[in-house]
Structures are given as C-alpha cells and as structure tokens.
Structure 1
Amino acid sequence: PYTEVYEALMSQGVIISKQGNILGNMNCLRVTVAPRTLLWRFIEALREATK
C-alpha cells in the first residue's frame, strides 16, 4: 500500500516524499502541510487514496 498511496497522493497534486525506514518503521512517507486549507486538501486526498 505504501507505493500505491504515494502514487495516488502525487497524482492528486499532494507533494510527499518517500522516507523508507525510519526508526525501524518501514515504508514511511513524509508530508508537510501548511496553511490549514492545504491540510484539508491533504486529508481528502488521503481518504481517497486509502479507499
């Protein structure tokens, strides 16, 4: 699901980066969201990507 979520978010214009293994957690994605209006856009895109 890691790659699928990454690709789905990128296709919706949400810029994220693959971080790989962080502190033993595999397949991490990094998202930085600001201002608040972009936060809601990200949440909706994530919901769509994880259906």
Structure 2
Amino acid sequence: MADRISYVGLDVHKESIVVATASSGLRGEVREYGRIANTATALDRLLKKLGGDGIR
C-alpha cells in the first residue's frame, strides 16, 4: 500500500489562520480548507481533523 501525502499551508495572522490543503502528485489539487482562530485549541482540533489515522 502506497503512502498518501497531504500538504498543509498556513497563512498566519494575529487573530486567525487561513488553512489550505493539497494532495501529492502532479495533479494534486490545492483547496482552501477555511479559516480558524489563532489559538492552541483551534490548531489541536485542525490537526485531529486532518490527521486521520496518524501524522508522521
């Protein structure tokens, strides 16, 4: 089974973070995931949602 790699981009501002995701490969589409608060709690929630079965 091949590993699937996802990339996450963060545009960090004082009060919020804009999140974008992209899958690996030549045709990996970049999608805006959304805006979250710039807090530790919001980042923890984001990592749990995006991590799925695990983060390496």
TM-score calculated relative to the size of structure 2: 0.33
Larger radius of gyration: 2
| Bigger relative contact order, structure 1 or 2 (CA pairs below 8 A, ≥6 apart) | 1
Identify, as 1 or 2, the structure richer in strand.
Answer: 2
TM-score calculated relative to the size of structure 1: 0.35
